């Protein structure tokens, strides 16, 4: 399988904050907080979508009921019983999203300026 990540950039991608990677480290604190909330919601939505794709319809309905209880321990136990590791899925989705954001901004910055 081809390596899609520039290995020289990997430490930077893993170590730096997402906003720092895209040049947003100097944003006002309120704007940073707003962006962090949007990033977290996107990662959450991606993880939930990925989980539902791996469950049958009846398992998805059962998960719906558990999510309504707001009991994170029961939700994690249920997912674990289905062979799904929520912390690992969230981590994978966070890293994938971070890479996508980085690549998007890198491509925008490298685009020739139109006059």
pLDDT, tens digit (0-9, with 9 covering 90-100), for 69-94? 989 899 999 999 999 999 899 989 99
Q: Please report where in the chains the tokens 């707003």 appear, as a residue.
A: 34
**pLDDT band for position 103 (cuts 50, 70, 90):** confident
25-75 confidence digits (pLDDT tens) = 888 999 989 988 998 999 999 999 999 999 999 999 999 999 999 898 999
pLDDT of residue 105: 82
Rounded (10°) angle between helices 57-68 and 29-54: 140
Domain coordinates of the chain in residue numbers? 29-105
pLDDT of residue 28: 92
Six-digit token string for 72: 């994170």
pLDDT of residue 84: 96
pTM of this structure: 0.76
Separation between Cα atoms, residue 23 and residue 19, nearest integer Å: 6
Rounded (10°) angle between helices 72-81 and 57-68: 160
CA dihedral 33→34→37→38, nearest 10 degrees, is: -150
Separation between Cα atoms, residue 76 and residue 87, nearest integer Å: 9
């Amino acid at each position: 399988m081809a390596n899609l990540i520039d290995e020289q950039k990997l430490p930077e991608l893993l170590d730096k904050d997402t906003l720092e990677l895209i040049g947003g480290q100097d944003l006002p604190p309120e704007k940073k907080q707003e962006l962090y909330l949007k990033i977290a919601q996107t990662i959450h939505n991606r993880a939930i979508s990925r989980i539902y794709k791996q469950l049958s319809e009846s398992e998805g309905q059962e998960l719906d009921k558990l999510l309504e209880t707001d009991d994170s321990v029961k939700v994690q136990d249920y997912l674990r019983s289905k062979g799904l590791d929520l912390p690992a899925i969230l981590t994978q989705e966070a890293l994938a999203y971070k890479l996508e954001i980085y690549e998007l901004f890198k491509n925008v910055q490298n685009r020739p300026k139109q006059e």
